[in-house]
Chains A and B, each alone.
Chain A
Amino acid sequence: MKQQRQLFFAFFRVGIFGYGGGPASIPLVHKEVVENYKWLDDRDFNDLLALANTLPGPIATKMAGYIGHRVAGVTGMINAVLATILPSIFIMVVLLSSLAAVKDKPWVQGMTDAVMPVVGVMLAVLTWSFFRRSKEGLGLWKSLMFVAGSFVLIKVLPSPAILILALLLIGLLKPVRKDNADAVGAEREESV
């Protein structure tokens, strides 16, 4: 019961403070799940986010649903998803008529504008932590090459999911080299 309550409040906060759609709420999920309640460590969170990105559909509910399921089974899953989406749907349905009148008010516009850089900073911090971890796993130069290559391919390909699926396949099929395995081992010890 305590876990269900914690799940609810964690994802309720994600839902009501995640301005800018699902991807903007990723840093909030990270904060609640990794730092606040410690349901997942950084490494598991990374894997989860990576896989969530290869699959279709909204990202926030995939994260909420999976984490809820892992922490407290099917009830936890339903609980976390509802906590993420219900508050905003409720506001949207109930207040739609008055919101239509209010959305062009300068102060509403001001609020929306002011929150953008905050979300930008949170995402940039998370970007940096991913880069640092990939440097631990692959080394600096290889990471930079992967980053540059990914950047180009993400711009060129119709969907980033293709790139991530391709990387997963290469990672699966390519034989694991000794120095690679060492680097992975070192990183693992570090994360334990």
Chain B
Amino acid sequence: MIYWKIFVAFFIPGVLGYGGGPASIPLVEDQVIDHYGWMDAEKFAEVLAIGNALPGPIATKLAGYIGYQQGGILGAVVGVFATVAPSLILMIFLLGMLYRFKDSPKVKQMTNFIRPAIAVLLGVIAFQFFVESYHGAGWLQTLILTAASFFFLEKLKVHPAIVIAGALGYGAIFLAA
């Protein structure tokens, strides 16, 4: 039963992948290549590269594409559902509990304690993006793009979508080395 296999293949990365979609990529790879043998490593790397060139969350793009390849449209639906649903349902349940007690000093203390850790997590991801940009576009372009996007986003308060579209255009013209 192919749909059941697709479900299991994406359910496991969905419930074990801590740290967002990118963290679950190795788990998807393990299921798709080693466990079910749906594609070889080379093909997976290609799908991943294309997925990374497109916008949107990576885990659902992989689930949608691979699910579609193995089981058509229903396969894509099953793959995406298995990726998204388990953790989302858990989250709605847990946040419901949290908001019921949101004015208790305990909950406030918990919030206070995790805030610095979340700041660090976000800071680390931000740093990775700058490193990647340095490797891809060099330090000068990275500096120009960083300064320009900070100016447009924070000083002029331009909507991020417009700044991103602008950067895409800039890259297509000036970074096409």
Interface residues of A (CB under 8 A from B): 13, 15-28, 31, 43, 46-53, 55-62, 65-66, 69, 77, 81, 84-85, 87-89, 91-93, 96, 99-100, 103, 105-127, 130-131, 133-134, 137-138, 143, 146-147, 150-151, 154, 159-161, 163-164, 167-168, 170-172, 174, 176, 180-181, 183-184, 188
Within the complex, the shortest CB–CB distance from B77 to chain A, in Å, comes to: 10
Interchain CB contact (< 8 A) of B65 among A19, A56, A93: A93
Given A46-B115, A58-B83, A115-B164, do A110 and B68 touch, yes or no (CB 8 Å)? no
Cβ–Cβ contact A125 & B154, under 8 A:
yes
Cβ–Cβ contact B113 & A114, under 8 A:
no
Cβ–Cβ contact B118 & A49, under 8 A:
yes
A119 to B153, CA, bound (A): 11
Cβ–Cβ contact A65 & B84, under 8 A:
yes
A88 to B76, CA, bound (A): 13
Residues of A within 8 A of B118 (CB): 46, 49-50, 53, 130, 164
Residues of B within 8 A of A120 (CB): 126-127, 129-130, 133, 146
Judged by a CB distance under 8 angstroms, whether B2 is at the interface is no
A188 to B14, CA, bound (A): 35
Cβ–Cβ contact A151 & B145, under 8 A:
no
Given A65-B84, A65-B91, A117-B149, do A123 and B60 touch, yes or no (CB 8 Å)? no
Cβ–Cβ contact B17 & A168, under 8 A:
no
Quick one: which of B52, B105, B112 has the most chain A CB within 10 A? B112
Cβ–Cβ contact B116 & A138, under 8 A:
yes
Within the complex, the shortest CB–CB distance from B61 to chain A, in Å, comes to: 5
Cβ–Cβ contact B116 & A66, under 8 A:
no
Quick one: which of A81, A106, A118, A167 has the most chain B CB within 10 A? A118
CB 8 Å contact bits of B33-53 with A (1 = contact, 0 = none): 000000000000011011111
Residues of A within 8 A of B110 (CB): 167-168, 171-172
Total residues of chain B contacting the partner, CB 8 A = 94
| Closest B residue by C-beta to A36 | B159
Residues of B within 8 A of A163 (CB): 117
Cβ–Cβ contact B160 & A16, under 8 A:
no
Given A17-B165, A66-B91, A116-B132, do A134 and B160 touch, yes or no (CB 8 Å)? no
A91 to B76, CA, bound (A): 13
Dominant SS among interface residues on chain B: helix
15 contacts between A and B (CB under 8 A): A47-B98, A56-B18, A57-B59, A65-B92, A85-B64, A93-B68, A93-B76, A109-B175, A111-B53, A115-B167, A116-B136, A131-B116, A161-B18, A171-B106, A184-B112
Cβ–Cβ contact A121 & B55, under 8 A:
no
Quick one: which of B65, B117, B132 has the most chain A CB within 10 A? B117
Cβ–Cβ contact B117 & A58, under 8 A:
no
Cβ–Cβ contact A89 & B129, under 8 A:
no
Judged by a CB distance under 8 angstroms, whether B31 is at the interface is no
| Closest A residue by C-beta to B172 | A107
Within the complex, the shortest CB–CB distance from A102 to chain B, in Å, comes to: 9
Judged by a CB distance under 8 angstroms, whether B74 is at the interface is no
Given A66-B88, A117-B149, do A85 and B57 touch, yes or no (CB 8 Å)? yes
A55 to B83, CA, bound (A): 13
CB 8 Å contact bits of B75-99 with A (1 = contact, 0 = none): 0100010011011101110110010
Cβ–Cβ contact A184 & B160, under 8 A:
no
Known: A134-B112, A184-B112. 4 other contacts (CB 8 A): A23-B125, A57-B87, A117-B149, A124-B126
